[in-house]
Amino acid sequence: MDYFVIITTLVFLSAVFGYINVRFLKMPNTIGLMFITLVFTLVVLAIGTIDKTLLLAERKLITEIDFETVLLDIMLSFMLFAGALHTNFEQLRIQRWPVFVFATVGTLLSTFFIGGLMYGVLMLLGLDVDLIYCLLFGALISPTDPIAVLGILKKVGVPKDLEAKIVGESLFNDGVGVVVFLTIFQIASATGGGGVEVSEVIELFVREVLGGVVLGLLLGYLTYRLMKSIDDYDVEVIITLSTVMVGTVIAQEFHLSAPLAMVTAGLVVGNDTVRGSAMSEITENYVDKFWELVDILLNTILFVLIGMEMLVLEFQWTYIFAGLLAIPIALISRYVSLYGPISMFEKRLDFVPKTDKIMTWGGLRGGISIALALSLSSEMHRELFLVITYMLVVFSILVQGLTLSSLVKRLIK
């Protein structure tokens, strides 16, 4: 199928589903699009029992899209830059230490908690899965998805300091989570986890994380200097676009973390000091509107894709049961991994009451987890972990996303 036809189909479906949501359902876009696409996919499956024409056409469309490459290598950089660009930098600066600990220590703890518990659960279900592969699953499911989180928090009404923690953690633990996943993936790819030196693992982790952040700082500063030297909103918008595209290429070429680079660059370009000294009022307006449009379009397409991925999954009752058990495991692991960091900072920074519960329930999973699960090999039990991941993502967005607002209102009186 021609790429233009694929893109046209996705944009058309996104427009139709988006219209239905805004006109009738009035849910947050992220939740509404996911819900409508799942219903559409179930209808297609039902029709497929009578006539397989539509089912085969939709399945052909999905199988021809390399979800992992499209999201991780292309879409993710644009969405993370846009998210960071519109993040409250001052609140994030105040909350920088808890955000840093949540994104690093919290992600690592969650990876090992989920991996260990899933290893035990899968053994009880009679599934022979090595611990290293369970840890790999823990790494791919631990990062909260900034794309899903940002889309829902806009309509929830969370206090600004708590929103900064949740958004900041999501932006950074996404990059850290991908690095942790790649590190464990490298170990798992070696024979039985052997053949990899500890020094190699540390080098990979440090290069990806620090290299990504340093690249982001350099890109952000260069973008700032270029924008400050001229006053032409058209060219300045194009400069921000080229920052994301060139930065992603450089990060991929030198094996640095593109997500962390884009988050860092977006925070540098979007902070109030840079805006005030490098952008005129009209430039700031155009830059914001352009990246809001990019963010909305890519988000819309992403969640339509996630809903349609159900067509290519291999559902088995054992896999479904494992997925149901994985939901409380993921929530408990997130709560436990956040408890220590929150206890460290809550008195010093005057945390909102019940921050641990809100951050646990507000830690939504999304397309990044599915993309990482799709990158697993068959030896790593790809089909099993893909079904579990998909069930977690759907539960996260539909159930946690829909109830987050009422939870916040009940806990923060």
Query: How sure is the predictor about 1, in pLDDT bands with cuts at 50, 70 and 90?
Result: low
Question: What CATH code is carried by the domain that includes residue 193?
Answer: 1.20.1530.20
Selected residue with higher pLDDT from 387 and 175:
387
Q: Say what the pLDDT of residue 196 is.
A: 59
> Are 99 and 42 in the same domain?
no
Rg (C-alpha) for the chain, rounded Å, is: 21
> 52-64: per-residue pLDDT in tens?
888 888 888 888 8
Selected residue with higher pLDDT from 369 and 194:
369
Out of 25, 46, 63, pick the residue that ends a domain. 63
> Are 286 and 356 in the same domain?
yes
Query: How sure is the predictor about 258, in pLDDT bands with cuts at 50, 70 and 90?
Result: very high
Least confident of 140-144, 181-185, 196-200, 371-375: 196-200
Out of 33, 63, 93, pick the residue that ends a domain. 63
> 96-116: per-residue pLDDT in tens?
889 999 999 999 999 999 999
- Region 186-196 average pLDDT: 67
Q: What is the full DSSP assignment across 335-378?
A: HHHHHHHHHHHTTTTTPPTTHHHHHHHT----HHHHHHHHT--G
Tell whether the model's pLDDT for residue 407 goes beyond 90.
no
Tell whether the model's pLDDT for residue 193 goes beyond 60.
no
> 321-342: per-residue pLDDT in tens?
999 999 999 999 999 999 988 8
Domain limits at 36? 3-63
- Region 62-67 average pLDDT: 88
> Are 15 and 75 in the same domain?
no
- Region 282-306 average pLDDT: 91
> Are 80 and 116 in the same domain?
yes
- Region 362-378 average pLDDT: 90
> Are 312 and 244 in the same domain?
yes
- Region 159-165 average pLDDT: 80
Sign of the torsion angle spanned by Cα atoms 19, 25, 26, 28:
negative
Helix runs in 70-197, H state only = 76-85, 89-94, 96-101, 107-124, 131-141, 146-153, 160-189
Out of 26, 43, 63, pick the residue that ends a domain. 63
Give the separation between CA 364 and CA 368, rounded to whole angstroms: 11
> Are 212 and 320 in the same domain?
yes
Q: Say what the pLDDT of residue 28 is.
A: 82
> 385-401: per-residue pLDDT in tens?
999 999 999 999 999 98
Q: Say what the pLDDT of residue 259 is.
A: 92
> 5-64: per-residue pLDDT in tens?
888 999 999 999 999 999 999 888 888 988 999 999 999 989 988 988 888 888 888 888
> Are 179 and 228 in the same domain?
yes
Q: Say what the pLDDT of residue 411 is.
A: 83
> Are 36 and 116 in the same domain?
no
Cβ atoms of 309 and 390 within 8 Å: the answer is: yes
Give the separation between CA 231 and CA 212, rounded to whole angstroms: 29
Least confident of 95-99, 138-142, 316-320, 347-351: 347-351
Give the separation between CA 173 and CA 357, rounded to whole angstroms: 18
**Strand, helix or coil at 300?**
helix
Q: Say what the pLDDT of residue 288 is.
A: 94
Q: Say what the pLDDT of residue 192 is.
A: 54
Q: For the chain, what is the mean pLDDT?
A: 89
Q: What's the structural domain count of the chain? A: 2
> Are 139 and 252 in the same domain?
yes
> Are 11 and 84 in the same domain?
no
- Region 190-198 average pLDDT: 59
Cβ neighbourhood burial of 341 (10 Å; 0-12, 13-18, 19+): buried
List the one residue out of 77, 49, 71, 70 whose CA is nearest residue 266.
Answer: 77
Tell whether the model's pLDDT for residue 195 goes beyond 70.
no
Cβ atoms of 167 and 149 within 8 Å: the answer is: yes
Q: Say what the pLDDT of residue 191 is.
A: 53
- Region 86-100 average pLDDT: 84
> Are 258 and 340 in the same domain?
yes
Give the separation between CA 270 and CA 286, rounded to whole angstroms: 13
> Are 52 and 93 in the same domain?
no
